[in-house]
């Protein structure tokens, strides 16, 4: 069942991320410490900025709160070389332009493929186990009849 569900859900990963990731980025960054840390780690690891594109940060709660106290256009974790205050410039030489949704959806789809293959492999093993147990039962039944 896990194998089948992983293959079915693989098609829906991008749509789900598109619905929820941008909301998480725009409403939770700098508001929820755990989500902020996760977003920072994702942007650093995947070399991306924003949910769909770097302009997403203009509409975020973080940008509205920070607008008066800092000149950052994007969080510092969007920068190619992360340093304090590096998010002031949103030039292609300074920040990653692609959004995290693309890399994250690829990563999730890869993991779902592995999960599906393992699930289907276990299913095949169980089917062989059932066939062999039936064969053993038949052999033992024949031996016990004598």
Has residue 133 been placed in a domain? no
Q: What is the pLDDT along the chain (146 residues), one digit of tens a residue?
A: 777 777 777 778 888 888 899 899 999 998 899 999 999 999 999 999 999 999 999 989 898 887 656 788 899 999 999 888 888 888 888 999 899 999 999 998 898 889 888 888 998 999 999 999 999 999 888 777 66
CATH of residue 25's domain is 1.10.1450.10
The pair of structure tokens assigned to 63 is: 């940008």
- Domain membership flag for residue 130: no
Tokens of 56: 């997403």
Cα separation, 1 vs 17, whole angstroms: 23
Task: Indicate whether 67 belongs to any domain.
Answer: yes
Q: Give the separation between CA 10 and CA 115, rounded to whole angstroms.
A: 11
| Non-local CB neighbours of 77 within 8 Å, separated by 6+ positions | 39, 40, 41, 43, 44
- Residue 86 included in any domain: yes
In-domain check, residue 7: no
Is 65 among the domain residues? Answer: yes
Total structural domains in the chain?
1
Provide the domain limits for residue 54: 12-115
Asked if 99 and 52 count as a contact pair (C-beta separation under 8 A), the reply is yes
Tokens coding 112: 């779902």
Please report whether residue 105 resides in a domain: yes
On whether residue 125 sits in a domain, the answer given is no
| CA angle at 106 for the pair 101 and 107, rounded to the nearest 5° | 100
**How far apart are alpha carbons 79 and 85 in whole angstroms?**
10
């Amino acid at each position: 069942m896990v194998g089948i569900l992983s293959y079915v859900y693989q098609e829906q990963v991008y749509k789900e991320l598109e619905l929820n990731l941008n909301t998480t980025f725009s409403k939770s960054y700098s508001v929820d410490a755990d989500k902020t840390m996760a977003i920072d780690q994702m942007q650093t690891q995947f070399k991306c900025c924003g949910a769909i594109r770097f302009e997403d940060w203009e509409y975020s709660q973080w940008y509205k709160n920070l607008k008066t106290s800092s000149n950052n256009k994007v969080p510092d974790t969007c920068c190619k070389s992360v340093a304090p205050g590096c998010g002031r410039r949103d030039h292609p030489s300074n920040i990653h332009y692609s959004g995290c949704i693309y890399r994250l959806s690829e990563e999730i789809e890869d993991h779902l493929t592995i999960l599906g293959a393992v699930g289907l492999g276990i299913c095949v093993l169980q089917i062989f186990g059932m066939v062999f147990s039936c064969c053993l039962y038949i052999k033992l039944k024949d031996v016990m009849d004598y």
